[in-house]
Structure 1
Amino acid sequence: MSSSFQKPDHDELAGTEQPFVAHLIELRNRLLYAAYGLGAAMALLAIWPGPSRLIDIIAAPIRAHMPADAKLIAVGVFSPFFIPLKVLMMAAVLLALPWLIYQAWAFIAPGLYSHEKRFALPLIVFGSALAYGGIAFVQLYVLDQMFFFIQNFTPESVAATPDIASYVEAILGLYIAFGMAFQVPIVVVLLVKVGLVTVEQLTAFRGYFIVVAFVIAAVITPPDVFSQLALAVPMCFLYEAGIWVAKFFLKKTPAAADDAESPPQT
């Protein structure tokens, strides 16, 4: 089956090439637009809910398993200032994520064919949704269960008062890990769409992917069993979902792909 990413005989991009300086100007503009959007998101979050409230939100999973009067501590001299700022920037990136992805898309879109654009836009939307889903899964479920698991192993003679800086770094790593891991269906569909692999090959690779998923989870998550399972198991299900989505796209797009690759009738 021919790939829909194959260049059609009638090149619709012929004659649209731009000089290198024009590309640099366009890149500069897109970076500026992205910076403006990120700045607006930071300003909005600084007003509401505010840096202190953001700290309370991300600290809620671990606070739920600490004594009622216990608090996270700030060991560093400048931690009370820099940590809320870091959390504010992290939240602003998440809030502005669709806008940032759109700017990247707008920069590369002029170099894509129309059938590639039609395919790329849904991937951007679903990719953003999957990233948000992975982060929400961490915040609402994984952290709570992970700290419940860890706190049960804390001796009574030890006061569990984590440093806010190390806590923020740990959960930021989990946000990134789960946000990227939840992109498995997008990667699977792209691999099939560009013709690098077939659905049959992906199906045969299923058993190996389970091993790969658990190895990845063991490397990038904290050394507790629960967080590793919480990452590896969804990756396996998302891999299977990607195979089904790839089958759906292959059923829906071959006719359109053939039309795009056939020369225009005279």
Structure 2
Amino acid sequence: MSEKADQFYNELKTAVESDQLVLPTLPEVALKIRDAVESENTSAQQIAETLTQDASLSARLIQVSNSPLYRSRTPIEDLQMAVTRLGIRMVRDLVISLAMKQIYQATSDVLDEHFRKSWNTAVEVAAICRMLATTVPGINPEQALLAGLIHNIGSLPILVMAEDDDDLFNDSEALGNVIDELTSPVGELILKTWNFGDSMTNVVKHAHNFSYDHEGGADMVDLVQIALLQGGHEPQEIDWSSVPAFAKLGMDTDVNVVEIEENQEIIESTKQSLMV
């Protein structure tokens, strides 16, 4: 890192350690839905009533429920029907995923450009993760979608803080280096603040650690890493054959599943559902 980037790195670390870094927050309704689902006595009607507190999220949930990803013979016309049809847990994951877009609201045009780039990457990775999850037993596609959306969440407060440093903010290489260095630890901090579990926290911790390995079958980190590589979001010099995630998913590194036409349709449908 350059001297300027190194200085910013130390300032950001100090801000994190002293709780002075402003972290993004999930919309209140998304948190209420998550907490309600953990209660064994929650009904579809109660979830629907909570959702009505956020008109934007409610409308988007119904839109997505009627999208090609979930469409059934009978159109979903209200929230309770959506919750009943999709299931409480799926609605929880979808609501949090849909709420993520609200976090990427910038306060300036320049910051908005950076935020939009981060969001587009998150959406593309999430769409590939969801597609991959449909082929892996034991992995929930909606949770895989959320894993893709949160993998780079740590970049947001970094960008916000960097905006006050003109030299760094206008030096794309230096800024990129800082983001690469700090996205993971800042992302961990955000997910701990949101009270997310180990599965999602591991995603932000290890997403770009391509030597990451673990016991057992494929996990969310493996999905995100393959989505990053096959989606073209990582440097070309990474040797795919040395990345354990491919073996965990039983995938041939000579085949790019993203380029398969059938998979492309699934990926595009998912991306469209997140962009509503």
TM-score between the two structures when normalised by the length of structure 2? 0.36
Greater Rg by CA: 1
Select the structure that is richer in helix. 1
TM-score between the two structures when normalised by the length of structure 1? 0.37
